[in-house]
Amino acid sequence: MNGKFSITDVLTKRMQWLSARQTVLTKNIANADTPKYIPQDLKDGSFKRMVERQSPALRPTSTNGSHIQGVSLRDPDGRSRDQEELYETAPAGNAVVIEEQLVNMTQNQTDYQMMTQLYRKHVNMIKLALKGSG
């Protein structure tokens, strides 16, 4: 397949990554009271790189002065805010913030549901194509 992935391969790999991330986030919550425990997370870079290789880069441009401008999730000086800047480490040395982990788990669950829906839509599209017009 000359280095390209099918849509089902991409969706399957993303769902596997999301399942692995759910395991890591669950471990973080389970160790919320463990002294000197540092929370872990999986980096999303490999999936993004895989998608970027398969599709051209798209950059939104404003074609009219009255269009709404995008909102940046970065500080005005261009830095992104990290967990260390937002939360403190507990006196016992534990850096797990339950609220942050729950937000991550909710986002992970939403992403997984989206992948499931995309997979289902793709399968339905294949079924429709195989069924034909008759």
Does residue 116 fall inside a structural domain?
yes
Q: How confident is the model at residue 64 (pLDDT cuts 50, 70, 90)?
A: confident
Q: What is the pTM of this model?
A: 0.63
132: left (phi over 0), alpha (psi -120 to 50) or beta: left
Predicted pLDDT of residue 73: 46
Q: Provide mean pLDDT across the span 66-90.
A: 54
* Number of domains forming the structure of the chain: 1
Nearest to residue 101, comparing CAs of 46, 38, 36?
A: 38
Question: Does a structural domain hold residue 44?
Answer: yes
pLDDT band, residue 72 (cuts 50/70/90): very low
Give domain status of residue 95, yes or no.
Answer: yes
Cβ neighbours, 10 Å, residue 85:
9
Q: Which of 113, 105, 102, 89 is nearest to 37 (CA)?
A: 89
Domain region containing 102: 1-50+86-129
Q: pLDDT digits over 84-123, tens only?
A: 444 566 666 788 899 999 999 999 999 999 999 999 999 9
Residue 68 lies in a domain: no
